[in-house]
Amino acid sequence: MFNASTTRRSLLASALALPALGAAGTKGFAQAALPLRVSLNAPYDGSNAAFFLAEEQGYYRDAGLAPQFDPSGGSGEAVTRIGSNVYDFGFADLNVLMEFNQKNPAQAGRSVYMLYYRSPLCVAYLAKTPITKPSDLAGRKIGAAAPDGAYRLFPAYVARTGLVAKDIVWDMVGLQLREAVLSRGDVEAILGFDSTMYFGLKKAGVNAEDIKFLYYSDVGLDLYGNGVIASKNILETNPEAVRKFVAATARGWQDAIANPDAAIAALKKRAELTNVAIETEKLKWLIKNQIVTDESRKSGLGIVSPERLAASIATVAPAYGLPTIPKPSDIFDPSYLPADAIRRLPL
């Protein structure tokens, strides 16, 4: 039998329970997750496996987010996608974003979390080719993917080496065909990220000792590389979603660095044809060569040095033919970074 006192106690208990149900994220009265579109840096591979690990671990779900991760043809495509505001986030080269922002200020996004502290941009060639220095590229046929960051930044490389751009014979191919044209001998060199090309060539049957690189950094291009970029629209309309996405992604990368095997296992669930051995080696390569540096050990992942970024902008902007030199704040915004504990390298 109910009475007024019992009813009041029941209502109070129900009211106290409601916030707990909402906080659970997946129970009772939880709000629907916010759908997001995310452009990756490449086809599904070891370089973006951490996003799928974060997804598998429930970090996005727990933050009330439902990201859709789409492969791309490279940084150029990822940047264009967020510039269109059709995509909310991307994983792309900060320098390609800089050029886009200068040419499209009304659609300018921002980099909000840095991952590649050492640039992997380079020219790859085979040991049998008579190339040992940048000037040897003159007159060579080079394969490249138009949306890729290495091709977009090649003018900066030319400016530092004394090469003449018109002396290069280009074979423009899709990102997935780039290593194949080099291994077949259709071109004499290709442009891209060291890890992507190295493992793509190994997959094509090229011996590791026959793969050689000319790094952009060797000619003084001390550039930051890939990071998470956000569209102007999501930054202006839902900054809290940006903070949540960055924090969840940062946790995924922490986990991937601590356990690359788990990240590749999550990738294979998304792309069942994944070559586990090669993609695991690729992720470990990126961690060792692009992500873990003295700078990231000291400051944690995500943040950049304003001084270093300003210096790289001063180098790259003239090579792009930009009319003005952007400020670091025009490209990178640190205000969305998560707590230090989430950015700390787990090493």
What tens digit of pLDDT does each residue of 192-216 get?
Answer: 989 889 999 998 999 999 999 999 9
Main-chain phi, psi angles of 19, to 5 degrees: -60, -35
Q: What is the pLDDT of the chain when averaged over all its residues?
A: 90
Averaged pLDDT for residues 318-331: 90
Contact between 52 and 263 under an 8 Å Cβ cutoff? The reply is: yes
CATH of domain 34-118+224-343: 3.40.190.10
Q: What is the CA radius of gyration of the chain?
A: 23
Domain 121-219 has CATH 3.40.190.10: yes
Q: Which residue(s) pair with 114 in the sheet?
A: 227, 302
User: Which of 21, 9, 6, 46 shows the shortest CA–CA distance to 200?
Assistant: 46
At 244, list the tokens.
């949540």
Contact between 188 and 170 under an 8 Å Cβ cutoff? The reply is: no
For residue range 140-181, list pLDDT tens digits in order: 999 999 888 889 889 889 988 989 888 999 999 988 899 999
Q: What share of the chain is helix, strand, coil (3-state, %, to 5)?
A: 55, 15, 30
Residue 65 has pLDDT above 60, yes or no: yes
Q: Helix axis angle, 194-203 relative to 276-286, nearest 10°?
A: 160
- Cβ neighbours of 121 (radius 10 Å): 27
pTM: 0.81
- Rounded to whole angstroms, the Cα distance separating 268 from 53 reads 10
- Return the domain boundaries, the chain: 34-118+224-343, 121-219
Residue 18 has pLDDT above 90, yes or no: no
- Rounded to whole angstroms, the Cα distance separating 308 from 124 reads 26
